[in-house]
Structure 1
């Protein structure tokens, strides 16, 4: 019984590590600038941006900026790297799905991965 309990505890402790694993190899998702994405991006397009989270606008909403411009992004708290302080001076890489309404009035990147930029 003690071995079973120990094994169950070990598995339970390891699960969060498995869940936070990320693919770090090559990708076909293009790295672009904010301007490129805003000018040419299509709804549901996957994109990667490098720059800075310059403000927290409430809840999961942030403003992201690079040298070409700014845009709204949505980031769930679970996508932030654990134990890493992210502020407006830390360069990050974000990847996600571009959301653009039919008339182009509302655009944002729904972030699915956030990491420190290389």
Structure 2
């Protein structure tokens, strides 16, 4: 019984570590994407400034035209992956409790850790 409980605890810890690692990876990828987008915007701005300086200035500018731009659609947060990993961890935890590997107290502690992460 002691060996099985140790294996179960290791499985819970490994599952939690995997979930945390995945979350950190997604957050880092988001930061890299944000940095790449900012660099692209800066390059576009610099290019447009150079083009404006190269074009001769007109004495009279034509009247400005109204341009309608659609509002950007916000990207969906990758919360689905995070939620799915939590659900998987909770299911695994429930299976361990049902099998009698974890006590009620251990189950509640591990469940709180998963839900608060």
Common fold, TM-score beyond 0.5? no
- Higher helix residue share: 2
Larger relative contact order (C-alpha < 8 A, sep ≥ 6)?
2
TM normalised by structure 2 equals 0.28
* Structure of higher CA gyration radius: 2
Which of the two has greater strand per residue? 1
